[in-house]
Amino acid sequence: MELTRRTAVLVMISTLAGCTTPRGDTASEDGRSVSEDSLYHVSTIDALECGHFSDETTIGDLLENGGFGLGTVDGVDGELAIVDGEAYAVRGDGSAVEVDPETTTPFAAVTEFRSEKTVELDSVDSFEAFDAQLTPELPRTDHFYALDITGEFSFLRTRSVEGQIEPYPTLEEVLENETIFEFEDTSGDMPTFYIPKQFDDIHPPGYHAHFVTDDRDGGGHVYDFRANSLTVEIAQLESVTVELPEREVAQYPPC
């Protein structure tokens, strides 16, 4: 397998017969082929937890690999929600801003989202209830999935954190000072990934969701929610490409 200087194809997941339809590739601005069923991942959750809060990957480069996803920005200065090819960061004060293409990201995951299945959910009382209702709809739970979740939320609890400066602490230390936001009767986009538990060193396992309001003025990392009805568009992902951190591990604090 050929590796570039910073990028490794970490895992290839075979297509499930009968569960997906063949899809082509799209071309990025620099002529690269961007697969519609591939997850493009900047760094790993293990690196982020150890304080890898800076990297050389720009938001502009990230969006060339997919217009749907989530992550954070340099110095973990906001929870990143990417929808329809636009990237929004929800800051520690709760405000949401569209991110400049030259801003860098130390951790993010994107895909060229193409829905394969739509599931309508009624009376979702919690994130845990969402898990229980939706997981049986997945063809199998050892694959990656992208989920585009929209609807009217009667309640939503999110979080974000203030941006950090070097020398960086660990992520655990940062989250000790997280800010919690609560929304009532709101609507918006909730880009979400389902990650198999055997890949928990790459990305938090299970459902990882971020949110940005329809007005693009708030959101964050999703802790819990309630909704009378939700529409969930599901895309099964067949490969994952992980871009390794540019900076030496030794430059960061140990975990």
CATH 3.30.1330.80 corresponds to the domain 7-15+22-112+239-251: yes
pLDDT at 22: 41
Determine how β-strand 38-42 pairs with β-strand 239-243: parallel
Residue 89: beta bridge partners? 80, 97
State the first-to-last Cα distance of the chain, in angstroms, to the nearest integer: 31
Domain borders along the chain are 7-15+22-112+239-251, 117-236
Give the pLDDT band (50/70/90) at residue 168: very high
**Residues 74-113: pLDDT tens digits?**
999 999 999 999 999 999 999 999 999 999 999 999 999 9
* Separation between Cα atoms, residue 163 and residue 63, nearest integer Å: 22
pLDDT at 205 over 70: yes
Question: Model pTM?
Answer: 0.87
* Top-level class of domain 117-236: alpha beta
CA dihedral 8, 11, 17, 23 (to 10 degrees): -30
**Phi, psi values for residue 173, rounded to 5°:** -65, -40
Band of residue 157 on the pLDDT scale cut at 50, 70, 90: very high
CA 175 to chain centroid, in Å, comes to: 18
Tokens of 31: 């002529």
Beta bridge partners of 162: none
Residue whose pair of structure tokens reads 């900047």 in the numeric block? 42
pLDDT band per the 50, 70, 90 thresholds, residue 255? low
